[in-house]
């Protein structure tokens, strides 16, 4: 009796041991798989300044935190009025004290953008490229990395997308000439050399804010003005950056599906500035802009995405 009990007890222990080894091995394999997909080789060293605010956390930022930001977590800094959930303090740049309460006004947004430069100057020796993104953007970080690695960050680059078909007309001194500017809402990247040259104009928040007010330009226009007028740096235009201002980007499904893997930024806004025609991998309240679906289509190796894709294929062939 005793020996039988002892025997089954031993078998039971053995079974638990085998199960534990199996679970441990599987979790190791999964972690490894996940690491492979989430490690972005950032040999160019890109820093990401994301402009957001406490009132946008649930509406926008959570979707970025569920998709592209984890791929570049260590290199991402948040410019925000207040501390945000799940974001470490050492990656948070608080603006409320210097800029006042959040508002979609010229001075508040210029003041927030001025904080990008404080971060950029602080980390100048650690990065080659300095990018700004708004919180209503999906960034295809692999393609951004690939694109920037074709350029020399020791040269003065100002990279982005124009939202207007023509250069901005200007007849005032000190620079009575038209100039191009890139809309910050599509993302803007500056090389290390450009950050270095911008230092005299962006050392303190008030230098940049006073400049915006003096010229009566919004932050992105003032940045374009500074670069053209004072530094003679012209805009490198890219049509792979997209803001939600662009009407046609999501209007042609076929073109979008043919080209989306090559795009670098995607703006989103309801009701129609997002890829609404993509399959729904998540319930709509969990993925209102289809950003998580887009992310899965770009990173099919991620375990969760594999599951979503399998589920979708299975359901659509049932």
Among 135, 220, 246, 287, contact with ligand UDP (rule: CB under 6 A): 135
Q: Interaction with ligand UDP in 49-88: which residues (CB under 6 A)?
A: 51-53, 56
Of residues 185 and 275, the one with the C-beta less far from ligand UDP: 185
Instruction: Identify any residues that bridge with 129 across adjacent strands, giving them in sequence order.
Output: 46, 191
- If one asks whether residue 185 binds Mn ion (CB under 5 A), the answer comes out as yes
SS3 188: strand
Choose the stretch contacting ligand UDP; rule: CB under 6 A; options: 6-14, 132-140, 200-208, 230-238: 132-140
End-to-end CA gap in the chain: 53
With beta carbons less than 8 A apart as the criterion, state whether 277 and 255 touch.
Answer: no
Residue nearest to ligand UDP (CB): 134
Taking the CA atoms of 206, 211, 217 and 223 in sequence, report the sign of the dihedral they define: negative
Displacement of CA 296 from its chain's centroid (Å): 16
Q: Considering beta carbons, is residue 51 or 290 the nearer one to ligand UDP? A: 51
User: What does 103 interact with, of Mn ion, ligand UDP, none (CB < 5 to 8 A by kind)?
Assistant: ligand UDP
Options 112, 115, 242, 292; binder of ligand UDP; rule CB under 6 A: 112
Q: Please say which residue, 61 or 294, places its beta carbon nearer to ligand UDP.
A: 61
Residue with tokens 């802009």: 289
Distance CA(251)–CA(274), nearest Å, equals 9
- Minimum distance from residue 313 beta carbon to ligand UDP (Å): 35
Taking CB under 5 A as the criterion, the residue among 81, 136, 219, 287 binding Mn ion is 136
Any contact of residue 285 with ligand UDP (CB under 6 A)?
Answer: no
Of 185 and 275, which has the nearer Cβ to Mn ion?
Answer: 185
The 3-class SS string of 221-237 reads HHHHHHHHHHCCCCCEE
Nearer to ligand UDP, 105 or 154 (CB): 105
The beta strands (E) that lie in the chain are given as 46-51, 76-80, 92-94, 129-134, 137-139, 158-160, 188-191, 236-237, 265-267
Contact stretch for ligand UDP (CB under 6 A) within 27-35, 133-141, 152-160, 252-260:
133-141
| Tokens 């960034």, located at residue | 139
| Span interacting with ligand UDP, options 128-136, 152-160, 163-171, 274-282, rule CB under 6 A | 128-136
Nearer to ligand UDP, 144 or 296 (CB): 144
Which range touches Mn ion (CB under 5 A), out of 16-24, 27-35, 71-79, 128-136? 128-136
Please identify, using beta-carbon distances, which residue of 186 and 198 lies nearer to Mn ion: 186
Q: Is 134 in the site for ligand UDP (CB under 6 A)?
A: yes
Residue 132 Cβ, how far from ligand UDP at the closest point, in Å? 9
Q: Which stretch binds Mn ion (CB under 5 A): 97-105, 184-192, 208-216, 229-237?
A: 184-192
Q: Peptide bond before 264: cis, by omega within 30 degrees of 0?
A: no
To Mn ion, the closest distance from the beta carbon of 42 in angstroms equals 25
Residue 104 lies near ligand UDP (rule: CB under 6 A): yes
Strand, helix or coil for residue 68: coil
Beta-carbon count within 10 A of 63 CB: 23
CB 68 within 8 A of CB 40: no
| Nearest by Cα to 184 from 257, 127, 267, 101 | 267
CA distances from 200 to 89, 131, 203, 220, 288 (A): 28, 19, 6, 18, 42
Binding site for ligand UDP (CB under 6 A): 51-53, 56, 102-104, 109, 112, 134-136, 185
Under the rule (CB under 5 A), what is the footprint of Mn ion?
134, 136, 185
């Amino acid at each position: 009796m005793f020996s039988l009990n002892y025997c089954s007890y031993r078998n039971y222990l053995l079974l638990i041991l085998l199960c534990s080894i199996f679970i441990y091995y599987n979790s190791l394999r999964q972690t490894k798989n996940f690491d492979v997909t989430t490690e972005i080789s950032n040999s160019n060293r890109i820093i990401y300044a994301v402009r957001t605010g406490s009132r946008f956390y649930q509406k926008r930022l959570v979707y970025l935190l569920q998709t592209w930001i984890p791929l570049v977590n260590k290199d991402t800094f948040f410019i925000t009025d207040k501390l945000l959930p799940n974001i470490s303090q050492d990656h948070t740049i608080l603006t409320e004290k210097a800029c006042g309460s959040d508002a979609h006004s010229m001075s508040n947004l210029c003041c927030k953008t001025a904080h990008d430069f404080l971060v950029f100057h602080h980390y100048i020796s650690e990065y080659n490229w300095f990018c700004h993104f708004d919180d209503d953007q999906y960034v295809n970080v692999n393609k951004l990395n690939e694109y920037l690695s074709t350029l020399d960050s020791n040269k003065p680059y100002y990279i982005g997308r124009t939202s207007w078909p023509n250069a901005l007309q200007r007849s005032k001194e000190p620079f009575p000439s038209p100039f191009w500017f890139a809309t910050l809402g599509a993302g803007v990247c500056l090389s290390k050399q450009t950050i270095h040259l911008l230092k005299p104009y962006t050392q303190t928040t008030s230098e940049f804010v006073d400049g915006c007010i003096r010229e009566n330009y919004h932050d992105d226009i003032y940045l374009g003005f500074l670069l053209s007028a004072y530094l003679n740096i012209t805009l490198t235009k890219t049509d792979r950056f997209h803001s939600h201002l662009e009407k046609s980007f999501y209007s042609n499904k076929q073109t979008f599906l043919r080209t989306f893997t090559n795009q670098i930024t995607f703006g989103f806004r309801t009701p129609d500035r997002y890829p609404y025609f993509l399959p729904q991998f998540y319930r709509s309240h969990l993925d209102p802009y289809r950003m998580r679906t887009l992310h899965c289509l770009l990173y099919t190796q991620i375990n969760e995405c594999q599951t979503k894709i399998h589920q979708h294929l299975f359901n659509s062939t049932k």
